[in-house]
Structure 1
Amino acid sequence: MKSILLVDDDSISNFLNTKTLERMGFVNDIHTALNGKQAIDLFNEYYIWC
């Protein structure tokens, strides 16, 4: 399974990029973060459970 973490402070960009990646079929699991702290928290949460 391919996963990606999109980090951008613009939620509209995150939404559009998520939809684009979904339509292109590049990844199965997409997470988004609006800042670096959210990105690190998501990253740590994902790898704790894997």
Structure 2
Amino acid sequence: MANTLQELIDRSGNTVDLLRGSKLGTYIYPAVPTEFSNWRREQKAWRHTAVL
């Protein structure tokens, strides 16, 4: 088991896969309203809506 974040990153070999496979889920910062729903909805909105 890794004792530090750096050890975990060094052992994983691929930081992107480590982050994508996280079991923690979305972190909601307390007392701050969410700005975006999620990445997929943002991508869909960029593709299917217009900004004036």
| TM-score bracket for this pair, using the shorter chain length | under 0.3
TM-score normalised by L of structure 2: 0.25
TM-score by length of 1: 0.25
* Structure whose CA Rg is larger: 2
- Relative contact order (C-alpha < 8 Å, sep 6+): which is higher? 1
Structure number with higher helix proportion: 1
